[in-house]
Amino acid sequence: MPWVFVYGTLMRGMSNHYLIKDCIQQCLNARTSGKLYHLSYGYPMLIIKGYDTVYGEAVKVPENSSILGILDDLENYYGPGHPDNLYERVEKEVVLPDLAWKVNTILYKCPEKKEKEIEESEFLIKNGDWRNYIKKTGHSNDSA
C-alpha cells in the first residue's frame, strides 16, 4: 500500500483534508528533512535540502485509489519535469516517530528550478511545522 507525506493543507484539520479523508487507511505523525516555506499564496512548499526537520503526516492509501490523480490536480503536477509544474512528485523516506518506523512515501516538493526564488522571497518556517505556524500567526489555510 502506498504512503503519501502531507505537510500543509491536506493534513487533518486543514482546508483540503476533505479531498483525501475518504481514501485514508491510516494517518500517522511523520517527519522528514528539508526546509519548509509559507508562500504568500497561503500554502506551504517543501524544499528537499538541508537537515532541518519538516513535520506532517504519513497517509496510507489503497494501491488502486484515485488519490494520486486528485493530488496531482491539486498540486498542479503534470508529469516529471514538466515546465508548468507547481510541485514535483517524488519518493522520499519519512520517519513515523510514534512507531519508530521509516516508510517510503510520495510527496510533493518545490521544483529545483524554483528553489532559489522561493528561498529568497518566501517565509522560512524555522520549526518546520506549518500547522503550528498557521495557528500562531492566524493565517488562513483556505488556499489550495
**Catalytic center residues:** 75
Q: Which residues are CB-neighbours of 121 under 8 A, at least 6 positions away?
A: 40
* 3 beta partners: 60
Q: Which residues are CB-neighbours of 89 under 8 A, at least 6 positions away?
A: 68, 71, 72, 75, 77, 80, 106, 107, 108
Which secondary structure element, helix H or strand E, spans residue 117, and what is its range? helix 115-121
End-to-end CA distance of the chain: 26
* Residue 64: exposure state from Cβ atoms within 10 A (0-12, 13-18, ≥19): exposed
Only one residue has cell 494501491, namely: 63
